[in-house]
Structure 1
Amino acid sequence: MIHDDQNQPLSLDLNDIRQQIDSVDIQIHELLNRRARLAEAVAKAKFASESDPLFYRPEREAQVLRKVMERNKGPLSNETVARLFREIMSACLALEAPQSIAFLGPEGTFTQAAVYKHFGKDAVTRPLASIDEVFREVEAGSAHYGVVPVENSSEGVVNHTLDCFKASHLNVIGEVELRIHHQLLVSSNTRRDSIKQIYGHQQALAQCRQWLDAHFPDAERVALSSNAEGARRIRNEWHSAAIASDIAANLYGLEIFHGNIEDNPENTTRFLVIGREKVPPSGNDKTSLLISAHDRAGALLDILEPFARHNISLTSIETRPALPEKWAYVFFIDLEGHIDQEHVAKAIEEIRPLVKEVRVLGSYPMAVL
């Protein structure tokens, strides 16, 4: 016997079930339009009361998605329900004020997939050629926000992104964790028994090294600026394949010859969302710091000690050269907590006298999806 969410038995008559589905669909539709009208009312209220209204609220959206997952009772999974609400919020935000999101392009990259995961399909996406350009577009106000890769669980940090933060005053306002599945793509022109070249970004080629060694040991591996660039190239070549995403396959009309060829099935890339504003606490946050230390023994230990004393968990520590100085370094540190929390603020203030510079890159909600 099947029961509804009030534990009442449901009819097993197919026509009756379909009529109930139609009735529920009508209710859902009415509620969606009601929510959309409320979003339009929010926009009018903000324009009436604020000279430069802020429409995207990362902390608010994170709180809504967490509540969705907390109250979910199934049979849909928490993640499925949260994704549905993510798209509802995206559509409603587009009614208030469409958000322009710059990302490391071209179209069809995993960074674009991260944009859609975080902002939903109604975001206005702007592919750019480099990480530097993403930072510049957001700094200039030509895009509301930007999304850039920062680290991969298999291949480590993206140094270019960390280096951009050294010269930028943008804030980190969010993070996206995206499970990376690499597909080996071919076109209608490809002779599958004569593949001599395989295109891909250098990190994609590295993340699929063992699979390629086993299945295409003699094929030349050609590193390109992006996976999407490889997908574009093979449309007109008969001897080539490309490593790219499902999005790229759909975008460029290609076929998945072999699916999920990454060596590590848990392969995940973390992306950062950058913007000009600061984000209030959401209740479950991270803070990213840039710390320039003095060149002396024990400098890192001095930095870490206040965090340990205030019981602050560090989730990442990375080091980059502090160019143009020789043998000088800056540390990028991610920690659990928000700068507005007393114990986090105290730890940071205790570190300031010990180093050349402490810069808070941003406090932002931990990835929900």
Structure 2
Amino acid sequence: MSENREINVSLEKLRGEIDKIDEEILELLNKRANIAIDIANIKKKTNLKFYSPERERIILERITKLNKGPFPNDALRVIFREIMSASLSLEEPLKVAYLGPEGTFTNLAAMRHFGSSAKYIPVDSIKAVFDETESGRVNYGVVPIENSNEGVVSYTLDMFMDYDLKISAEILLEVSHNLLSKSGEREKVKRIYSHPQATAQCRIWLEANMPNIPILESTSTARAAEIASQDEEAAAIASELAARIYDLQFVERHIEDNRNNYTRFLIISRDYPSKSSKDKTSILFSVKDRPGALYDVLLPFRKSKINLTKIESRPSKRRAWEYIFFVDMEGHIEDKKVRKAVEDVKEICLYLKHLGSYPVDEGIEKK
């Protein structure tokens, strides 16, 4: 009995210390918020941009470098992202358009980057994300660009030919698919809804475990979840966030065939950020249809020892057999060797467009 009493006393003492620390954290958060309001007032008077992604990046890099543990840096980034998001909402909430509806993986990616205090605006197409961003009705747009298993989202690439927008950041999200229904009982599932790309990423599991169940196409995984929430016999392949939003139960978790399943998203805006410690530059260009044309274009990058991390081609849709090439490379356009190589390439090309230079996303979060 005395030993239990001593344990309880020790626990109460430690919990009391945590309560005191929590009160100090609360006081400091409100102190930080008041300073953020003062900064907002100065920005309004001087017509400065209320949101600075460069400043956020510096804060996150500084905090993680200062951290000596045991608190993990991944969690620290999430916490400070939310602190900055909430502080920014006191000034003026960021408006972010994304490929909706609510609960899509694009929604998850946007929330990971901008925090939960931004104002998220779901739209029904990738083109609509570009429209909202170019018009200035939103500050940023978020669109999918490629999946590690299913490849590039061609429509997103096509949009960059028609809009004068920049890539200001990238988000890498490790995607996990779940089979969801109202009951959570596999025996009650008579049909499954999902987006074709999600279905393709779960093909082997579906063939092995639901061989006679029809798979029906939906415009998004979130829309599939919405359908399943209204139909006792339907299930959806969707995210954990969609399960929470549409009050669905898990029939089976993690049904993707490849657990190394990543989707890359791009944040688009009317400008791109200044240099960081590790950047990526994206361009698109077209070349004359002649032997060796692509080799000639790539030669300046080789001479400058610039690593090209991605090359993708698309029909220009303007002339038969004319192609547009999309290239990602290491470095920022402000780097001398990158700028010179791009300028040299521009002289050879029929057309070249700088899509943006932005920080490489090296942090991967699973949802």
Q: TM-score, normalised by structure 1?
A: 0.93
Q: Which moved more, 1:91-100 or 1:12-21?
A: 12-21
Residue type of the partner of 2:157?
L
Q: 1:156 aligned to 137, 151, 154, which one? A: 151
CA contact (8 A) 2:185 2:251 kept: no
User: Which residue in 2 is equivalent to 1:116?
Assistant: 111
Q: Give the alignment of 1:8-157 within 5 angstroms.
A: 13-50=10-47, 53-157=48-152
Given the alignment of the two structures, is residue 324 of structure 1 paired with residue 321 of structure 2, yes or no?
Answer: no
For residues 69 and 290 of structure 1, the distance between their equivalents in structure 2, rounded to whole angstroms, comes to: 35
SS in structure 2 of the partner of residue 13 of structure 1: helix
> Structure 1 368/89 Cα, relative in aligned 2: closer, same or farther at 3 Å?
farther
Query: Where does structure 1 lack aligned partners over 5 or more consecutive residues?
Result: 1-11
Given the alignment of the two structures, is residue 192 of structure 1 paired with residue 186 of structure 2, yes or no?
Answer: yes
Given the alignment of the two structures, is residue 175 of structure 1 paired with residue 170 of structure 2, yes or no?
Answer: yes
Structure 1 residue 227, shift from structure 2 partner: 0.7
Query: Where does structure 2 lack aligned partners over 5 or more consecutive residues?
Result: 1-8
Structure 1 residue 27, shift from structure 2 partner: 1.7
Count of aligned pairs: 355
For residues 209 and 341 of structure 2, the distance between their equivalents in structure 1, rounded to whole angstroms, comes to: 52
Residue type of the partner of 2:226?
R
CA deviation string 1:161-200 (max 9, x = no partner): 0000010001111111111010100113x76314231111
For residues 305 and 193 of structure 1, the distance between their equivalents in structure 2, rounded to whole angstroms, comes to: 59
For residues 254 and 62 of structure 2, the distance between their equivalents in structure 1, rounded to whole angstroms, comes to: 32
SS in structure 1 of the partner of residue 321 of structure 2: coil
For residues 19 and 201 of structure 1, the distance between their equivalents in structure 2, rounded to whole angstroms, comes to: 50
Q: Which moved more, 1:166-175 or 1:55-64?
A: 55-64
Residue type of the partner of 2:336?
E
User: Which residue in 2 is equivalent to 1:7?
Assistant: none
Residue type of the partner of 2:171?
V
For residues 349 and 219 of structure 1, the distance between their equivalents in structure 2, rounded to whole angstroms, comes to: 55
CA contact (8 A) 2:166 2:270 kept: yes
For residues 167 and 131 of structure 2, the distance between their equivalents in structure 1, rounded to whole angstroms, comes to: 14
CA deviation string 1:303-327 (max 9, x = no partner): 2221122121222111110112101
SS in structure 2 of the partner of residue 230 of structure 1: helix
Q: Give the alignment of 1:208-247 within 5 angstroms.
A: 208-247=202-241
For residues 238 and 46 of structure 1, the distance between their equivalents in structure 2, rounded to whole angstroms, comes to: 53
Structure 1 residue 228, shift from structure 2 partner: 1.0
Q: 1:248 aligned to 242, 248, 266, which one? A: 242
Q: 1:361 aligned to 343, 347, 355, which one? A: 355
Structure 1 consecutive aligned stretches of length 4 or more whose deviation exceeds 3 Å: none
Residue type of the partner of 1:206?
A
For residues 309 and 38 of structure 1, the distance between their equivalents in structure 2, rounded to whole angstroms, comes to: 49
User: Which residue in 1 is equivalent to 2:5?
Assistant: none
Q: Give the alignment of 1:219-368 within 5 angstroms.
A: 219-368=213-362
Q: TM-score, normalised by structure 2?
A: 0.93
For residues 276 and 218 of structure 2, the distance between their equivalents in structure 1, rounded to whole angstroms, comes to: 39
SS in structure 2 of the partner of residue 236 of structure 1: coil
SS in structure 1 of the partner of residue 229 of structure 2: helix
For residues 359 and 64 of structure 1, the distance between their equivalents in structure 2, rounded to whole angstroms, comes to: 31
> What do you get for the CA RMSD once the two structures are aligned?
1.4
SS in structure 2 of the partner of residue 358 of structure 1: strand
Structure 1 residue 17, shift from structure 2 partner: 1.1
CA contact (8 A) 1:58 1:174 kept: no
CA deviation string 1:252-279 (max 9, x = no partner): 1111110011111110100000111232
Structure 1 residue 285, shift from structure 2 partner: 1.2
SS in structure 2 of the partner of residue 82 of structure 1: helix
Residue type of the partner of 1:226?
S
Given the alignment of the two structures, is residue 204 of structure 1 paired with residue 201 of structure 2, yes or no?
Answer: no
For residues 57 and 137 of structure 2, the distance between their equivalents in structure 1, rounded to whole angstroms, comes to: 25
State, as a whole percentage, how many aligned pairs show the same letter: 46
Structure 1 residue 156, shift from structure 2 partner: 0.5
SS in structure 1 of the partner of residue 354 of structure 2: strand
Structure 1 residue 368, shift from structure 2 partner: 4.9
